[in-house]
Amino acid sequence: MKQTTNQLKINLIDNPYFEKHKLKAQEWRKENESDFVDSFNDLKTGDTITFLGGFNKDIMYKSEIFGFSIKGIIYVVWDCYWFGISNSEDRLIQKV
């Protein structure tokens, strides 16, 4: 599928459930603390980023990082916080 310039943009930080998701993400991280690190490359826990997601990577999300796997998978605050995102070029990850 060809990348388009028209993308749906979702600011997850403005979502009324953001704080609830953040608490759940932090609890999950505590339960799995040995699997997490606080930084990877030029990103760190607490940074706000934008990234492409969705089935066809056609949604530009904005959220906060709550951790990284040792291999560099990024975990962000959203409703599926346990599903990390890859730090690959096609995600267009940018620090805000």
Query: For residues 76 and 8, what is the distance between their CA atoms, to the nearest angstrom?
Result: 18
| pLDDT reported for residue 7 | 77
Q: Is the confidence at residue 56, as pLDDT, over 90? A: no
**Could you give the C-alpha distances from 92 to 19, 20, 68, 83, 87, in angstroms and in order?**
25, 26, 17, 18, 9
pLDDT at 55: 82
Determine the Cα–Cα distance for residues 89 and 21; give it in Å rounded to an integer: 26
CA distances from 3 to 50, 56, 59, 78, 90 (A): 16, 9, 11, 24, 10
Ramachandran area for residue 58 (φ above 0: left; ψ -120 to 50: alpha; else beta) = alpha
pLDDT of residue 6 exceeding 90: no
Question: Structural domain boundaries of the chain?
Answer: 8-95
Name the β-bridge partners of 61.
10, 51
